[in-house]
Structure 1
Amino acid sequence: MDNNNNKLQLLLLSLFLLAITAVHSRSVPDSTPSDLISDGINSNNNHNQRGPQYLLLNPFIKAEEESSSSTCEQTYGFLPCTTTVLGNLFLIIVYGYLMYVAATYLSNGSELLLEILGPGVVGGLFLPILGALPDAMLILVSGLSGTKETAQSQVSVGMGLLAGSTVMLSTVIWGTCVVVGKCDLRESDSVAIDGQNTKGLRLTGTGVSTDVWTCYAARIMAISVIPFVVVQLPQMLNSTSGRHLAVLIALILSVSMLISYCLYQVFQPWIQKRRLAFAKHKHVISGILKHLRQRALGRLLTDSGEPNIDVIKKLFDAIDENKDECLSASELKALIIGIRFEEIDLDQDDAVSKVLGDFDTSNDSHIDIKEFINGLEKWLNEAMQARTGSADPGPHTMKFLDDFHLQTKREHALLGAGEESDEVAEGVENPKWVSFKAVLMLLIGTIIAAAFADPLVDAVDNFSAATSIPSFFISFIALPFATNSSEAVSAIIFASRKKIRTASLTFSELYGAVTMNNILCLSVFLALVYARGLTWDFSSEVLVILIVCLVMGAFASFRTNFPLWTCSIAYALYPFSLALVYVLDYFFGWS
């Protein structure tokens, strides 16, 4: 056994000596960095290489040295900058918080100004613009500074913010408002019951309801994507010659839509009041017709659909208390007092004036038998023309009067009539001081947004370079939460009051914010692209905006009741948008 061990040891020693005789090595100079060692190859035998070749012991040391050797450019020459991942992440958080502060100042200052000056020009013109100001500032600085090449690389931050704000407000915030604002839905018509939330998380038994004005806001939001389609037409047609012209046309169109939208916002309160007055007028007509039908000694219409003169004369005689063959204002008021107008706060004198306006063609403040017959015939024809049933009920059944009454009642409710604001309208004490405070807050918010928009864009760009994450995705996810967080929080808090009116105002504000993103922020973006001669290459981003706005716009344009399950559609659109941009950009090479 010992003899065998000695032979084995001798064999191993011989192999070791043979191996070291074939090894070539060289010395490492003293000037060599401590983290390098020789690769064992004699540089003298390799004429293509100069100097000793070394292996890197710690590659991370090399990366850190390269990172520390690269420099960053300080914004304004004094604001901090860094090339490290954590450093840029910290700067994004700090600058993002400052943009949130700016948005808060702008929002609070706008509300104070609205309390003093009221709606109209302030509510329709200044508030929407000020609400989108932080986003517009970030988009502006993303393509304004630096060379054309730098602007082309940084402008993706602006597009990411534009797309991210639109998608976030339309999906995540929209769905959250449905969840926090849900109430029990009536089984008869699926309308939310104010303040009642006893069914838990039932997907079909709970939800929110809005008025018809909210539907109009959703339609405007869907229409606001038209400039995106225009600027994208050359890419859709595979044309390179008309891209610059398409940017100009889309810019003109978006500015025109911005002006039109602001004018609509200015005059919208007047439009709403007129629509409410018209709806109330129709409700008065339907209520009186229904009451007269119940009091009539026979059918108001003959089998041929003509007014039944005998029955109408009997009605006239029943209303004419003093038998002077004329109906006075006091007699009409007595008639209206006897009518129970459901869910409508009716001014009786106003109702009398409406009846006189429709019946009294002689303008003598009295209605004779001929005027009564003609006026009643006009009302009956209007009721018959307004019926919505597919089957013709026929004049002998008079069912169309019930349908007309239900229709006017629903229109009256959809317009938000009879719903008073939760906020108590109070006079503003010391309006001069409040005005000064509002202007000061607006000024501070504007200065902060203008001052820190450029550093935030630089931090996002540096973070993107340090992490190799495209700047679009950083701005798409992170920046909207900074610039729109104040608006989002206030919308969620307002929706949590669980009333139809507050839900209507909440969703209208969301649709309005998206509309301003699509026209104001896009106008700024298109102006940058056109003025600096940048390349429009954002097909995937535009497609995401189109899908989200059209889906949510169409979804909210033709319905006023949203069960709880609808929030799942909104939530699903957010990750879908991110995934779609990633697939189109990195698998199909759209950008």
Structure 2
Amino acid sequence: MGKKPAFLLLPFFFLALSGPAHTRARPITNLSTVVISDGTHDVREPASTQLNNKYLISPSDMCEQTYGFLPCTTSLLGNVFLIAVYGYLMLLAAKLLSNGSEILLQIIGPGIIGGLFLPVLSSVPDAAIILASGLSGSKETAQNQVSVGMGLLAGSTVMLLTVLWGSCLLVGKCDIEGTTAVDLKDTKRFSFTGSGVSTDVWTCYAARIMVLSVVPFIIVQLPQVLNTTSISRVTVLISLIVSISLVIAYSIYQVFQPWIQKRRIEYAKQKQLISGILKLVKMHALGRLFTDDGEPNIDVIQKLFNIIDENADGCLSAKELRALVIGIQFEDVDTNIDDAIEKVMEDFDTSKDSCIDEHEFVVGISRWLNRLKHSAIQRQDDGSWTPRLINDFQERARTEYDLLGDKNDEVAELIENPKWMASKAVSILLMGTIVAAVCSDPLVDAVDNFSTASNIPSLFVAFIILPFATSSEAVSALIFASRKRSRTSSLTYSAIYGSVTMSNILSLSVFLSLVYFRHLTWNFSAEVSVILLVCILMGLIASFRTTFPLWMCLVACMLYPFSLLLLYVLDDVLNGSYPRPRPIMV
């Protein structure tokens, strides 16, 4: 479906090819038509020569065709059209890379390739534009055009964390009851405090990683902070090494994170099981689980064993444990009964005879109670703290499970003909990479020419326009968030934080490589300041809370124009970092 609109643009593209685009041309003079005066008689040039001179192109009106055949123009509207065409092609490339990655991920799963290779592909469009902005031309040309790459880098980060972040909150809002948003319930409409979204704890981890990803920006800014230029090139190299190291570390984390998450979810389920069994003590009023000196009450534990041991044979079988697990009723927790029985057997059955006797049960429950006692704050009063301790543990276990966001409820899709789908995915990825590589250079030239024609610094053009041409996940993120579930909101915001993280480390690595190996001057303090402000502010907010009221949508969206204004002020204050384009005749 993504190819059809691209073909519709082809006639306009070739129309631009055949139009009167200005190119770098040398006028050829026919010497046979030149008449030389003898000094005494005025000689009038032939009409043909006057006509040729009329259409000679002045140097100020010339532009250079990319690859020697792609159209270029010096007019304002012409460059707007070219930016729209090349921008759409870059958006198409980003969608191809995204679709190909999703297909490949369904086939191979989140393993080594999914963790190392696919995250890099998401940053290919941005990296291609950054590379094109400073790779070709002389050092002076690269110094002027590289601001397009930095503008894209800053603009992508700000757009994702402000406009897209706030929009996802707006379309994904649900009613907030207590401290969390209720899935699929949106009756409070636009209540700034009564509606919002909730995410899981893994989204908080993604936000914290995003905050850590700004370390290379801080390093490269040290010479400006210290007001010295003697170590500028050294800090660029150090920042480059750190950013590449972070790319490798983040990719490795992507490989092992699913296993870590699965282990944490299993631990949360075990805590739910413990809290459910301890809840039986309250239900049957067996007494206090702890004695006056704070030790497990053996008599109460033995009474609990006798209740569970229905046939009174002194041993708890798997059948009796199954009845116990079913009777606990885990409410909203999706607990597999067989897994729960296996966990109890593994924890209690030290003799490995598939039967839990009274001694093993007393030792196992005592171990659970001691663990519970050390993980909570005991209230030294009349001894009634036992049920409160159980309630507190039970509530924390349920909250922790909800925050972890169990993924086991998702049904894996069966892939028919995986070899064909893998070939299709690789072809889509290859096509997207080629389109991004080919279109990035003419897009940078079009932005630079538009900047010259409009007398607007290319930094601001790239900051505002280019992020929307390379962020293919914007529309899909909004559609995903509109499902109004905590699960989908968590995935949406995790994807946003992951995109910003890859931009901060991978795209910055490409940019720093250009600056270092082409011996360019680092004068991008304004952009770095804006990136640091937005990333740290939004990252800290998302790192320490999982529920976001609707009023935070306004804060996030207002941060975008504030960032643009701040960039303009800092760019003007910090010694006018960027050379203003020279005015030319349009």
Instruction: Return the TM-score normalized by structure 2.
Output: 0.85
**Does residue 477 of structure 1 match 2:468?**
no
The one-character-per-residue Cα deviations of 1:121-154 (angstroms, maximum 9, x if unpaired) are: 3432233211110000000111110111111111
Note if contact 1:74-1:81 (Cα within 8 Å) is conserved in structure 2: yes
1:231 aligns with 220
**Does residue 397 of structure 1 match 2:385?**
yes
Note if contact 1:296-1:314 (Cα within 8 Å) is conserved in structure 2: no
1:563 aligns with 549
Whole-Å separation in 2 of the counterparts to 1:322 and 1:435: 56
Whole-Å separation in 1 of the counterparts to 2:151 and 2:562: 15
Whole-Å separation in 1 of the counterparts to 2:187 and 2:557: 24
Whole-Å separation in 1 of the counterparts to 2:383 and 2:115: 47
2:565 aligns with 579
- Between 98-107 and 580-589, report the one with greater CA deviation: 580-589
Structure 1 position 388, deviation (Å): 6.3
Please state whether the residue corresponding to 1:361 is helix, strand or coil: coil
1:283 aligns with 272
Structure 1 position 466, deviation (Å): 1.6
Please state whether the residue corresponding to 1:208 is helix, strand or coil: strand
Structure 1 position 464, deviation (Å): 1.1
Structure 1 position 435, deviation (Å): 2.1
**Does residue 442 of structure 1 match 2:429?**
yes
- Between 117-126 and 129-138, report the one with greater CA deviation: 117-126
Whole-Å separation in 2 of the counterparts to 1:426 and 1:360: 37
Structure 1 position 197, deviation (Å): 1.6
2:261 aligns with 272
Q: How does 1:532-547 map to 2 (within 5 A)?
A: 532-547=518-533
Note if contact 1:296-1:311 (Cα within 8 Å) is conserved in structure 2: no
Note if contact 1:540-1:590 (Cα within 8 Å) is conserved in structure 2: no
Structure 1 position 165, deviation (Å): 0.3
2:104 aligns with 113
Structure 1 position 431, deviation (Å): 2.6
1:192 aligns with 181
Whole-Å separation in 2 of the counterparts to 1:392 and 1:517: 52
Structure 1 position 479, deviation (Å): 0.4
| Alpha-carbon spacing, 1:289–1:67, altered in 2? closer, same or farther (3 Å) | farther
| Aligned sequence identity (%) | 63
Q: How does 1:207-226 map to 2 (within 5 A)?
A: 207-226=196-215
The one-character-per-residue Cα deviations of 1:494-544 (angstroms, maximum 9, x if unpaired) are: 111111111111111111100010011001111111111111111111110
2:481 aligns with 495
The one-character-per-residue Cα deviations of 1:409-456 (angstroms, maximum 9, x if unpaired) are: 1111111127734xx643222333322222221111111110110111
Structure 1 position 309, deviation (Å): 2.0
1:344 aligns with 333
**Does residue 521 of structure 1 match 2:507?**
yes
**Does residue 90 of structure 1 match 2:90?**
no
The one-character-per-residue Cα deviations of 1:5-37 (angstroms, maximum 9, x if unpaired) are: xxxxxxxxxxxxxxxxxxxxxxxxxxxxxxxxx
Q: Which amino acid aligns with 1:356?
A: M
2:317 aligns with 328
1:360 aligns with 349
Q: Which amino acid aligns with 1:268?
A: Q
Larger radius of gyration: 1
1:157 aligns with 148
Note if contact 1:199-1:206 (Cα within 8 Å) is conserved in structure 2: yes
Q: Which amino acid aligns with 1:345?
A: D
2:130 aligns with 139
Whole-Å separation in 1 of the counterparts to 2:297 and 2:469: 68
**Does residue 458 of structure 1 match 2:445?**
yes
The one-character-per-residue Cα deviations of 1:536-567 (angstroms, maximum 9, x if unpaired) are: 11111111001100111011111111111011
1:247 aligns with 236
Whole-Å separation in 2 of the counterparts to 1:132 and 1:418: 26
2:119 aligns with 128
| Alpha-carbon spacing, 1:270–1:344, altered in 2? closer, same or farther (3 Å) | same
Note if contact 2:216-2:242 (Cα within 8 Å) is conserved in structure 1: yes
Note if contact 2:321-2:341 (Cα within 8 Å) is conserved in structure 1: yes
Note if contact 2:76-2:450 (Cα within 8 Å) is conserved in structure 1: yes
| Alpha-carbon spacing, 1:394–1:288, altered in 2? closer, same or farther (3 Å) | farther
Whole-Å separation in 2 of the counterparts to 1:70 and 1:79: 17
Whole-Å separation in 1 of the counterparts to 2:282 and 2:412: 42
1:46 aligns with none
2:419 aligns with 432
Please state whether the residue corresponding to 2:137 is helix, strand or coil: coil
Whole-Å separation in 1 of the counterparts to 2:168 and 2:502: 20
Unaligned runs of 5+ in 1: 1-63
Structure 1 position 65, deviation (Å): 10
Note if contact 2:104-2:425 (Cα within 8 Å) is conserved in structure 1: yes
Q: Which amino acid aligns with 1:397?
A: W
Whole-Å separation in 2 of the counterparts to 1:95 and 1:573: 28
Please state whether the residue corresponding to 1:265 is helix, strand or coil: helix
Q: Which amino acid aligns with 2:485?
A: K
Whole-Å separation in 2 of the counterparts to 1:196 and 1:320: 43
Structure 1 position 459, deviation (Å): 1.1
The one-character-per-residue Cα deviations of 1:198-231 (angstroms, maximum 9, x if unpaired) are: 2211111111111111111111111110110011
- Between 95-104 and 425-434, report the one with greater CA deviation: 425-434
The one-character-per-residue Cα deviations of 1:470-507 (angstroms, maximum 9, x if unpaired) are: 110000000001011x2101101111111111111111
**Does residue 177 of structure 1 match 2:168?**
yes
2:306 aligns with 317
Match of 1:468 among 437, 455, 458: 455
Please state whether the residue corresponding to 1:338 is helix, strand or coil: helix
The one-character-per-residue Cα deviations of 1:46-68 (angstroms, maximum 9, x if unpaired) are: xxxxxxxxxxxxxxxxxx99977
Whole-Å separation in 1 of the counterparts to 2:153 and 2:283: 59
| Alpha-carbon spacing, 1:283–1:366, altered in 2? closer, same or farther (3 Å) | same
Whole-Å separation in 1 of the counterparts to 2:408 and 2:547: 17
Whole-Å separation in 1 of the counterparts to 2:300 and 2:283: 12
- Between 581-590 and 263-272, report the one with greater CA deviation: 581-590
Please state whether the residue corresponding to 1:185 is helix, strand or coil: strand
Instruction: Return the TM-score normalized by structure 1.
Output: 0.85
Q: Which amino acid aligns with 2:435?
A: I
| Alpha-carbon spacing, 1:239–1:452, altered in 2? closer, same or farther (3 Å) | same
1:103 aligns with 94
The one-character-per-residue Cα deviations of 1:59-101 (angstroms, maximum 9, x if unpaired) are: xxxxx99977531111111111111212222211111111111
| Alpha-carbon spacing, 1:409–1:458, altered in 2? closer, same or farther (3 Å) | same
Structure 1 position 382, deviation (Å): 1.7
The one-character-per-residue Cα deviations of 1:288-346 (angstroms, maximum 9, x if unpaired) are: 11113433532111121112222222222333334343333333333223212221222
Q: Which amino acid aligns with 1:461?
A: D
Note if contact 1:286-1:383 (Cα within 8 Å) is conserved in structure 2: no
Q: Which amino acid aligns with 1:319?
A: I
Whole-Å separation in 2 of the counterparts to 1:127 and 1:418: 21
Please state whether the residue corresponding to 2:548 is helix, strand or coil: strand
Whole-Å separation in 2 of the counterparts to 1:381 and 1:585: 60
Q: Which amino acid aligns with 2:499?
A: A
Q: Which amino acid aligns with 2:225?
A: M
Note if contact 2:281-2:287 (Cα within 8 Å) is conserved in structure 1: no
Unaligned runs of 5+ in 2: 1-54, 578-586
Note if contact 1:344-1:418 (Cα within 8 Å) is conserved in structure 2: no
Whole-Å separation in 1 of the counterparts to 2:93 and 2:301: 67
Structure 1 position 394, deviation (Å): 7.2
Q: How does 1:254-269 map to 2 (within 5 A)?
A: 254-269=243-258
Whole-Å separation in 2 of the counterparts to 1:582 and 1:379: 60
| Alpha-carbon spacing, 1:553–1:455, altered in 2? closer, same or farther (3 Å) | same
Whole-Å separation in 1 of the counterparts to 2:160 and 2:398: 33
Match of 1:551 among 505, 530, 537: 537
